[in-house]
Amino acid sequence: MSHTLEWKARLHFFEEEGTTKTRAVVDTGTAVLTGHGTARRNPADADVPGIGGEPAAGRALQDLGRQLVDIAERDVEETGTTGPGPVRPSSRPM
């Protein structure tokens, strides 16, 4: 059986006084999930707009990923089947 889906994701960035906050929103068609991430500039560093976006977005996407894995694990449990076990984060260095 073939099955294709498309999920829409949006990232929203807010920068203020050395802090970048990111909200990641994904619409699965059956649910809308939101992840949040924050990055703070070291006060000794220059204030360069946009530079905190990558870490804040990465953290928001990690939050979103944890939520999706939790939902998937609950869904598997509810079906009474056994899955491969908990999904563990990669130990690869970034």
3-36: per-residue pLDDT in tens? 999 999 999 999 988 899 999 999 988 899 999 9
Distance CA 58, CA 21 (A): 11
CA–CA distances in Å: residue 77 to residues 38, 45, 65: 32, 48, 18
Per-residue pLDDT tens over the stretch 47-60: 887 788 999 999 99
pLDDT at 7 (0 to 100): 92
Lookup result for tokens 């220059």: 46
**What's the whole-number mean pLDDT along residues 59-72?**
95
pLDDT at 94 (0 to 100): 42
Class for domain 8-42+50-79, per CATH?
A: alpha beta
pLDDT at 92 (0 to 100): 47
pLDDT(63) > 50: yes
pLDDT at 46 (0 to 100): 85
Asked if residues 47 and 20 have their Cβ atoms less than 8 Å apart, the reply is no
Distance CA 39, CA 50 (A): 11
**What is the residue extent of each domain of the chain?**
8-42+50-79
